[in-house]
Structure formats: C-alpha cells, structure tokens
Amino acid sequence: MAKNSSKSKLLPIYIINGPNLNLLGTREPEIYGRATLGEIEKLCAERGRSHGLSTIFLQSNKEGELVEFLQEARTGASAVILNAAAYTHTSVAILDALQTLKQPVIEVHLSNPARREDFRHLSYVAKAATGIIAGLGVNSYLLAIDAVAAILAGAPSKKK
C-alpha cells in the first residue's frame, strides 16, 4: 500500500498506521470519526505537497510488518509519523525499531488516549518519539506533517 505522493529533494515522510485503522470510517466513528484511512491518506498527501514534501502511507495489522516499515524508514524516510494504534500500548518491538531511527518521529492518535481506558495511558512509542499529537481527529495527522516540515526546515524549537 506504499504510495509516493510527490517529488521532493528530501526523502519522503513515512506515515505508518497500525492495526484496525483500515476500518476507519466504520469502526467506532464516535471515537475515531467518519473519515476513512484512504481519505486521511489523500489529505496527508495534499498537506505534504503544500510543504514540498512527499509521503508514503502504510498500514498493517501485523506487528512484524510495522517493525519492517520502521526498519525501512532508517534509509528511506526523512521522518516518520506513526499511529501504532493498539500496539502503542503493548509493543516493545516497535519501541526497539523506533530507537534505531535518527529521523524525527511524531506519534499521532485520532482520539486522546489520556481520556480513555487506563491501559491506553502507557505509550511505548512516546519513549522514542520527538513529539505527540493526539485527540484532534484527522487534524492530528495534518498537524504532524506541519511539525515534520518545520523540523526538517530547521525551525527553532523550544527545548527545556
């Protein structure tokens, strides 16, 4: 399902999506919204192009495939946007793969895990992420692209 949405001097941004996100639009729309993953992909490609960046949009329900996408990103991506879905809260394997990356990593979620069940409060992804954007629906993805664009452009950031 990899798609390169535009040409750019930089390597593309990998936008990686975990289990059950292929069901967006029909799965618990009161939590995740009505947008399909395909619609989110198109919006991300447009937002990326607006920054002169290309995107490769990936999804898998299999933990091992997500790890392989992250390993591929080591040499194939300028940044990673990751919605690991349920694996956010359980996968040390994904954390280990993320820790091999030197690129910026933005963790995204459509819903706000901090307002949900207790088991969703732990994020292994956060331990390796540059930043986290959650609870803003589809805008979480779009804001992550804006953040990546700013990071890649060398925009100053506040460090504590």
Q: Could you write out the three-class secondary structure of the chain?
A: CCCECCCCCCCCEEEEECCCHHHCCCCCHHHHCCCCHHHHHHHHHHHHHHCCCCEEEEECCCHHHHHHHHHHHHHHCCEEEEECHHHHHCCHHHHHHHCCCCCCEEEEECCCHHHCCHHHHCCCHHHCCCEEEECCCHHHHHHHHHHHHHHHCCCCCCCC
Q: Which among 68, 86, 65 is positioned nearest to 19, based on CA atoms? A: 86
Q: Residues with Cβ < 8 Å from 7, sequence gap 6 or more?
A: 54
Q: Considering 32, 87, 124, 141, which one is annotated as catalytic?
A: 32
Active-site residue, selected from the candidate residues 14, 87, 109, 124: 109
Where are the domains positioned within the chain? Answer: 13-152
pLDDT band at 14 (very low <50, low <70, confident <90, very high): very high
Most confident range, picked from 27-31, 120-124, 146-150? 146-150
Between 23-37, 68-82, 118-132, the lowest mean confidence (pLDDT) is in: 23-37
124: annotated active-site residue: no
Between CA 130 and CA 152 the distance in angstroms is: 12
Please provide the average confidence, as pLDDT, over all residues in the chain.
89
pTM comes to 0.87
Is 14 a known active-site residue?
Answer: no
**Band of pLDDT at residue 9, cut at 50, 70 and 90:** confident
The model's pLDDT over 17-74, given as tens digits with 9 standing for 90+, comes to 999 999 988 876 677 667 899 999 999 999 999 999 999 999 999 999 999 999 999 9
Q: Which residues pair with 55 in a beta bridge?
A: 13
Q: What's the pLDDT at 119?
A: 62
CATH class (in words) of the domain with range 13-152: alpha beta
